Amino acid sequence: MDLKEITQLYDFTGKTIVITGATGVLGGEIACALLGCGANIAMMDRNTKLEADLVKRIDSTVGRVIV
């Protein structure tokens, strides 16, 4: 596989993905990775303070974030 084929496998442009537990280490990294693949994400977690910190960290990434 070449790089173009690989990036097409992970093209989530126009897709909206809900992430539960988004403020945890794994959930936060998944959110960043999916945004990098063009997805819109909806982050859900009980700890809203950490969500605000995560939103600030990923604010410059392509895609939309809903908290």
- Residue whose token pair is 């496998």: 9
Q: Give the pairing of strands 40-44 and 16-20.
A: parallel
Q: What is residue 16's predicted lDDT score, i.e. its pLDDT?
A: 93
Chunked into runs of 10 residues, the chain (67 residues) has average pLDDT values of 76 91 87 86 82 72 67
Given this model, what pLDDT does residue 17 score? 94
